[in-house]
Amino acid sequence: MKVVVMPKAAVLDPQGNAVRDAMRHLGMPEVRSVRIGKYMEIDLDERNGELESRLRELCRDLLSNPVIEDYELLKDESAKRKKSK
């Protein structure tokens, strides 16, 4: 599984703004904005069926802070295909 955590739109992202400015400075004035979040790769033993709901709970309680962040849980499709071969 992969988890992407991004700051909510209302939360100022000074890090993203600094990178945006650097990109513009380096010859890419087209850059409108940059938002910086977190990307996590989680290796799981997926035999257990109700894993996803438990993982979602932890996404909400630990991996992200719902006050300032949104998370997205991405299933690792390529890994699944490899397994089914």
Partner 1 sequence: MKFAVIQFPGSNCDQDCVAAINSLEGLRAEYVWHKETLLNDFDAIVLPGGFAYGDYLRCGAIARFSPIMRAVVSDARAGKLVLGTCNGFQVLCEAGLLPGALVRNRSLQFVCDMVTTRVEVDDSPFTHGCPKGTLLRLPVAHGEGCLFANAETLRELNANRQVILRYADDRGRIVREANPNGSVENIAGICNRERNVFGLMPHPDRASDARLGSIDGAKIFRSMVQAISANRTTSERAKQVA
Instruction: Report d(CA 1, CA 53) in Å as an integer.
Output: 13
Query: Residue 32: exposed, middle, or buried by beta-carbon count in 10 A (0-12, 13-18, 19+)?
Result: exposed
Torsion of CA 57, 58, 61, 63, to 10 degrees: -140
User: Is there binding between residue 18 and partner 1 (CB under 8 A)?
Assistant: yes
Q: Of 15, 28, 51, 80, which one interacts with partner 1 (CB under 8 A)?
A: 15
Taking the least distance from each CB to partner 1, the nearer of 14 and 29 is: 14
Q: Of 2, 11, 39, 72, which one interacts with partner 1 (CB under 8 A)?
A: 11
Instruction: Give the binding site for partner 1 (CB under 8 A).
Output: 7, 10-12, 14-15, 18, 62-63, 65, 67-68
